[in-house]
Amino acid sequence: MKIAIMGAMREEIDPILESVGTYQTLEHAGNVFYTCTYKNHELVIAYSKIGKVFSAITASVMLERFGAEVLLFSGVAGGISKELKIGDLIMASALCQHDVDIVAFGHPYGFIPEGTLMIESDANLRSLASEVAIDMGVDLYEGIIATGDQFVASGERKSWIQQTFNADALEMEGASVACVCQNFGIPFFVLRAISDTADGGASDDFDAFLKTSAAESAKFILEMVKRIGD
């Protein structure tokens, strides 16, 4: 199967590239795409750069130009739920855009006409992930991930996102990638390991835990890849 694996930052895909062996590189549309064969699958791997616009470009290219049949996102997130500690893994049940605001026209926060407030990730990939978590002996949380073009480092903003969207974690790319996959009819899965708790100390924690948390997420995603199609 042709599988796309993407992250937003180089640090989020480096552990994947280090594990897959040899790969080819191809530059297109402002990104470098890494292709290889791994466990009988053809992989295309890339980091998009930060935010909704760059991640939508990368996801679109992976589906249109590289013909990916499934897309897995691996990276880090700010934790909202008190249950989530730094290093914990969360898979998105559904994703939304916390920075969409056309409430002046009577729409709820996050809603765009002809779109959906929440985009659900693929149920089969989520069940596979639950099995992988049991076999790896790791806790895997499932919940709503809220995406926006903001690095959230404020308790006030974090609470608003929690209350408005019932979100458990937040980041800057998941919902845009989900939107691309929904529109192309491609199954997708978003996994994030917590790097910070999106409040006053977020930037320091992010710097301290980006690499270790990204590695946790990457390791899990590669275990999933090994079992896709079994």
Residue from 23, 35, 50, 86 touching ligand OS5 (CB under 6 A): that is 50
Give the number of residues written for the chain.
Answer: 230
Q: Is 29 left (phi over 0), alpha (psi -120 to 50) or beta?
A: left
- Span 8-37, contacts to ligand OS5 by CB under 6 A: 8-9
Q: How far is the CB of 41 from ligand OS5 (least distance, A)?
A: 25
Q: How far is the CB of 203 from ligand OS5 (least distance, A)?
A: 8
Position 57 contacts ligand OS5 (CB under 6 A): no
| 215 C-beta neighbours (distance < 10 Å), count | 20
Of these residues, 196, 199, 205, 216, which one is catalytic? 196
Position 217 contacts ligand OS5 (CB under 6 A): no
Q: Is 146 left (phi over 0), alpha (psi -120 to 50) or beta?
A: beta
- Span 84-143, contacts to ligand OS5 by CB under 6 A: none
Residue from 61, 94, 172, 179 touching ligand OS5 (CB under 6 A): that is 172
| Helix pair angle (10-20, 202-227), 10° resolution | 30
For ligand OS5, the nearest residue by Cβ is 78
Determine whether 12 is an active site residue: yes
Which of 94, 107, 213, 224 lies closest to 165, judged by CA? 94
Q: Which is nearer to ligand OS5, 89 or 228 (CB)?
A: 89
Position 174 contacts ligand OS5 (CB under 6 A): no
Instruction: Please tell me whether residue 65 adopts helix, strand or coil conformation.
Output: coil
Count of residues touching ligand OS5 (by CB under 6 A): 18
Give the CA distances from residue 124 to residues 57, 75, 175, 181, in Å, rounded to whole numbers and listed in that order: 25, 20, 19, 15
Q: Which is nearer to ligand OS5, 21 or 82 (CB)?
A: 82
Q: Which stretch binds ligand OS5 (CB under 6 A): 66-74, 117-125, 127-135, 169-177?
A: 169-177
Contacts of 175 (CB under 8 A, 6+ apart): 52, 95, 96, 97, 119, 145, 146, 147
Determine whether 114 is an active site residue: no
Q: How far apart are CA 183 and CA 190, in angstroms?
A: 16
Q: Which residues bind ligand OS5 (CB under 6 A)?
A: 8-9, 50, 76-78, 151-153, 170-173, 195-196, 198, 202, 206
Catalytic residues: 12, 196
